[in-house]
Amino acid sequence: MKALIFNQFGGPDVLHYAEIPDPVVGEEQLLVRMKAIGLNFADVYRRKGNYHLAGQPPYILGYEGAGVVESVPAHVTHIQVGDRVAFADVPFANAELVALPLDRAIPLPADISFEQAASVLLQGMTAHYLVNDSYPVKAGDDVLVHAAAGGVGQILIQLCKRKGANVIGLTSSQAKKQAALEAGADAVFLYQDDWVQQTIQWTQGNKGVNVAYDSVGSTLMDSFAAVRIAGTVVFYGMAGGDPAPVDPRMLMDTSKTLTGGDLWNHVTSLDNRIERAQDLFAALRDGSLRMEAIQTFDLKDGARAHQFLESRQSIGKILLIP
């Protein structure tokens, strides 16, 4: 099979397209021919060596995608050759063929495209647990979404609006501001402005937001300033650097809550994966979730796709197509 591989850590130029052996499929795995593969910043971090990679080179990136089942273990009856499946957390996805564990295989309905599935699952499940588990968003809530034009940010906006919340987005440029507005944000402020005061003044009674979803990290204390008394800050990323230490006395004095979030502490079973995926697919069907800004690259052009992602010029999801 063909795959996008690398032998040493570094920039996008370490990636190259090559012929390698097909994956060895175990008794609890399906063989899937990939149709669409999601590209995420975690792939960049792994390529650079920031995230640990097990085994020896050549390394294969990619953890998210969708495709068609080519072989099924003899004891499996609920999945057949030709079925459409998707996944959000299976390694070595940057290849024509992937060995997919049975407990990671999400059935893909006929009316959801491979491209939609590969675009929505990882970031969509992240947004899904954030608005349902970390802080259950309610109708009428005022919500602040950091990095609102990013993949998770745009889905967060839409899932919050689906629940009847009022959403403020934060972005770094006018172009990204427009993308967040098109995703459904009620207002969008820029990081270079005094967004804390703008946020507070925008909320009813100038009380601040009920919840801030902070994936930037270095903005954590500003997020607390933008949250009302007894509000919540959900910290789930450090794209802008490490957060400052939080004084627990401030939490006591303001009755504010700080909670963290990691997807894999919430998505812990196949049933849970399928339930969350079905909810996301339903939102795609009814139009409350749109995945329109999908940009595709051939898998062989993966280095160019990585360059584009790292340029911070991309808006929406990037896919690799074998």
Give how far Cα 249 sits from Cα of 131, 246, 257, 267, Å. Answer: 27, 9, 12, 32
Q: Which residue has the tokens 């997807």?
A: 263
Asked whether the bond before 58 is cis by omega within 30 degrees of 0, the reply is yes
Q: What is the pLDDT of residue 15?
A: 98
Report the distance separating Cα 151 and Cα 136, nearest Å. 20
Sign for the CA dihedral angle at 137, 140, 142, 146 comes to positive
Q: Is 111 left (phi over 0), alpha (psi -120 to 50) or beta?
A: alpha
Give the CA distances from residue 71 to residues 14, 58, 83, 262, in Å, rounded to whole numbers and listed in that order.
Answer: 32, 25, 10, 32
Q: Give the β-pairing of 2-6 and 16-19.
A: antiparallel
Would you state the structure tokens that stand for residue 76, as one six-digit string? 């499996």
Q: Are 124 and 266 in contact (CB under 8 A)?
A: no
Q: What's the pTM value of the predicted model, to 2 decimals? A: 0.92
**What separation in angstroms does the CA of 164 have from each of 109, 154, 186, 197, 274?**
27, 16, 12, 24, 24
CA-closest candidate to residue 37, choices 4, 1, 71: 4
Per-residue model confidence (pLDDT) at position 240: 87
Residue 315: predicted pLDDT: 72
Contacts of 11 (CB under 8 A, 6+ apart): 48
pLDDT of amino acid 311: 85
CB atoms within 10 A of CB 258: 18
Domains assigned to the chain: 2-120+267-321 (3.90.180.10), 139-260 (3.40.50.720)
Q: Pick from 199, 154, 159: which is nearest to 286 by CA? A: 159
Q: Which residues of the chain have pLDDT under 70?
A: none
Strand pairing partners for 258?
Answer: 233
Query: 67 φ, ψ to 5°?
Result: -170, -160
20 token code pair: 């390698």
Strand 166-171 and strand 187-190: pairing? parallel
pLDDT per position as a tens digit, 48-73:
988 877 788 999 999 999 999 999 99
Task: Give pLDDT, residue 294.
Answer: 87
Q: Hey, is 125 helix, strand or coil?
A: helix
